[in-house]
Amino acid sequence: MSTHAAVGACVGLALTMNQPPEYALIGGTLAMIGGIISDIDVGETGKKTTPIIIGGLSLGLLAILFSVGVGVFPGIIELWKTTSGLLRTMVGSALFFVTCLWGMRRPHRSFLHSLLGMAILGGTVYLALPVAAGYFLAGMVSHVILDLLNYRPVQLFYPLEKGVSLRLCYSKSRVSNAILVGSVVGIVALLLAR
Ligand SMILES: [Zn+2]
C-alpha cells in the first residue's frame, strides 16, 4: 500500500508542478487518496486492518488539507467555496462513501479496480470538488496500472469477469520496493524543485 500511496502523491505533485501551492496540495492529497482507495476491497484476500488503514489515512489526509486551507493557504477554502460548497460536498462525499461500501463487498480487484469504478468515484469527487477529480482519477489510474503489472488479474472491464494482467512481476517483489523508493525520491525532488 505504501507504494500506491507514494506513487499517487508523486503523480499529483507532478501534475501540479507549475501551479500555485493550493493546487499542489489538493493534487498531491487527492491523487494519494486515489492511489490507495481501490484496495479497500481486499476483503478475505488481504489483512483485516487494510480497509481501516486506507479509510483512516484518507480521512486524515482530507483533515490535513482542510486545516492547511484554514490556517496556511486560504486559497484552498476559497477555491472550494467558489467551485463547490457545502451541499455539493455533502452529496458528493455521501455518494463516494456509499460507492466505497458497495465496492468493499465486491471481490478484490473487481469494481474498485475497473473503468466503471473509476468513472463513478471520479464523478462523486467531481461533485464534491471539481478541481480535485482529475488528480483523484490520476491516482486511481496509477494504482490500476501498478496492479496490472503483477500476476493477480484485474477486472478492468467490470462487470465483465475477464481479468487483465501484464504478468511482469509479483506484488511483493523487489520491483514494488524499487517503485516505492523511486516515487519517494520523485516526491522530494518535486517539492525541492517548486
Ligand atoms: Zn489494488
Q: What is the pLDDT along the chain (194 residues), one digit of tens a residue?
A: 899 999 999 999 999 999 999 999 999 999 999 999 999 999 888 888 999 999 999 999 999 999 999 999 999 999 999 999 999 999 999 999 999 999 999 999 999 999 999 999 999 999 999 999 999 999 999 999 999 988 889 999 999 999 998 888 765 678 888 999 999 999 999 999 88
Say how many Å lie between the CA of residue 78 and the centre of ligand 1: 34
Rounded to 5 degrees, what angle do the CA atoms 177, 194, 26 make? 75
Say how many Å lie between the CA of residue 49 and the centre of ligand 1: 15
Residue 160 burial by Cβ neighbours in a 10 Å radius (0-12, 13-18, 19+): exposed
Q: What is the pTM of this model?
A: 0.94
Return the pLDDT at 138. Answer: 98
What's the CA gap between 99 and 117, in Å, rounded? 8
Say how many Å lie between the CA of residue 56 and the centre of ligand 1: 17
Return the pLDDT at 163. Answer: 92
Say how many Å lie between the CA of residue 36 and the centre of ligand 1: 8
Return the pLDDT at 170. Answer: 66
Say how many Å lie between the CA of residue 156 and the centre of ligand 1: 11
What's the CA gap between 37 and 166, in Å, rounded? 22
Say how many Å lie between the CA of residue 193 and the centre of ligand 1: 30
Say how many Å lie between the CA of residue 109 and the centre of ligand 1: 6
| Bond before 159 cis per omega within 30 degrees | yes
Say how many Å lie between the CA of residue 64 and the centre of ligand 1: 24
What's the CA gap between 79 and 81, in Å, rounded? 5
